[in-house]
Amino acid sequence: MSDFYGTLGVDRDASFDEIKKVYRKLAREYHPDINDDPSASDRFKEITKAYEVLSDPDKRQRYDMGGDPFSQFGGGANFGFGDIMDAFFGGGASNRGPRARMRNGQDALIRIEIDLQEACFGTDRELNIETAVPCDVCSGSGCADGAQPTTCGICKGRGETQQVTRSIIGQVMTSRPCAACQGYGSVISKPCNECAGDGRVRANKVIPIKIPAGVETGNRIQMSGAGEVGPGGGPAGDLYVEIIEVPHDFLIREGNDLHISISIPMTSAALGTKVNIETLDGLKEVVIKPGFISGQTVTLKDLGINKLRGHGRGDLIVHVEVQTPAKLSKEQEELLKSLAKLRGESGDVVSTHKRSDGHNSAGFFGRFRDAFNR
């Protein structure tokens, strides 16, 4: 027999709420409409079967006693202590009654990709998903036109049948879900041809969604009542939309701040210059002051990502690399030699100065890229 507790990953003394919480999490992960993995469908069936047993007190009790949890009849190990107590203290079908055909629908999870521009400023999307919707033909009743569910002739509408069995303590009367009506207490003799009595069908559905400014990968947006409609036309579950942010070509996000790297010639670093860079807000000017050192940064305030909760935006951090020419013309070489002579830098020995953190500044951009690509 399958280990239903192991399938859900819960302890044998887990409460109903714990079991339900774990099942909902696993169901969202392995639902075939969400997970394209070929093995997801089988896994979904396994956890659903385990939940069906462990969420039903009677089935769970029969399972814990070593019996068949899906047996419709008593005998042997298929009745538990609860059945004996029902027999002696007046329990039975009257305490439980038939189960409702209308049940809550399942939650659903989908993932969508957005770019950095959409993550910063927010956007409106339309989601085209396949889901369970109410059957238009029967309006969710599951019955053919003009038909109604009829009282089950076996259990007389109780949803359960009783059976007397012999045991070591004498005769014991046990109650079981009615096999004829599956515990509903009524039978749909003329089911709807469109939904086969389920009250719902699968169809494509367009759902508008507003993605707020400041979201990032991993954020989820809950849309109440946008999930699958339940059996029998029951209330729909919720739809969870998980955000996946696509990396930008040259902007790197760190929280609400953005980072960009640019290169300037050494002459521009020495004399100062102005550089136009592309940002999420269009072209912006970066002022490079004279004597700029490679590896320094310039901060452009409020050009980062809008804050998801709160006001304002992060900053845009511009990392500047000073380029040293690898090849010089004869004229350029002579000019540099003249400049070095004027500055007293024409000696053969040139001291190297390191950054305060002990690293050569030339390696900064390699570390910058590594830090944000981890």
| Span 68-114, pLDDT tens digits | 777 644 433 334 444 444 434 334 434 467 888 888 999 999 999 99
Examine residue 363 and state whether it is found in any structural domain, yes or no.
yes
Whole-number pLDDT of residue 207: 94
Q: 75: which 2 tokens?
A: 């005998």
Percent of the chain topping pLDDT 90: 46
C-alpha closest to that of 108 among 229, 243, 198, 7: 229
- 3-state SS of 300-321 is ECCCCCECCCCCCECCEEEEEE
- 3-state SS of 180-235 is CCCCCCEECCCECCCCCCCCEEEEEEEEEEEECCCCCCCCEEEECCCCCCEHHHEC
Same domain assignment for residues 140 and 242: yes
Virtual CA dihedral for 52, 56, 60, 62, nearest 10 degrees? -110
C-alpha closest to that of 240 among 48, 25, 83: 25
Same domain assignment for residues 302 and 343: yes
Average pLDDT, the chain: 83
Same domain assignment for residues 202 and 302: no
Examine residue 26 and state whether it is found in any structural domain, yes or no.
no
Examine residue 313 and state whether it is found in any structural domain, yes or no.
yes
Examine residue 165 and state whether it is found in any structural domain, yes or no.
no
Strand order across the 239-245 sheet: 108-114, 239-245, 220-223
Average pLDDT (167-179) is 72
**Residue 350 sits in which domain range?**
252-266+294-373
Same domain assignment for residues 119 and 238: yes
Examine residue 235 and state whether it is found in any structural domain, yes or no.
yes
In this predicted structure, the answer to whether residue 212 has a pLDDT above a threshold of 70 is yes
Same domain assignment for residues 200 and 259: no
Query: Are the CB atoms for 74 and 65 separated by under 8 Å?
Result: no
Whole-number pLDDT of residue 77: 36
Same domain assignment for residues 110 and 223: yes
Examine residue 197 and state whether it is found in any structural domain, yes or no.
yes
Whole-number pLDDT of residue 250: 95
Examine residue 336 and state whether it is found in any structural domain, yes or no.
yes
In this predicted structure, the answer to whether residue 351 has a pLDDT above a threshold of 80 is no
| Span 19-73, pLDDT tens digits | 888 888 888 788 776 777 888 888 888 888 888 888 888 888 878 777 777 764 4
Q: Which residues contact 343 (CB under 8 A, 6 or more apart)?
A: none
| Span 278-322, pLDDT tens digits | 999 999 999 999 999 999 999 999 999 999 988 899 999 999 999
Same domain assignment for residues 231 and 260: no
Whole-number pLDDT of residue 371: 46
Q: 57: which 2 tokens?
A: 């007190």
Query: Are the CB atoms for 146 and 161 separated by under 8 Å?
Result: no
Same domain assignment for residues 226 and 260: no
CATH code, 336: 2.60.260
Examine residue 109 and state whether it is found in any structural domain, yes or no.
yes
In this predicted structure, the answer to whether residue 348 has a pLDDT above a threshold of 70 is no
C-alpha closest to that of 258 among 230, 299, 229: 299
Number of domains composing the chain: 2
CATH code, 220: 2.60.260.20
Whole-number pLDDT of residue 370: 54
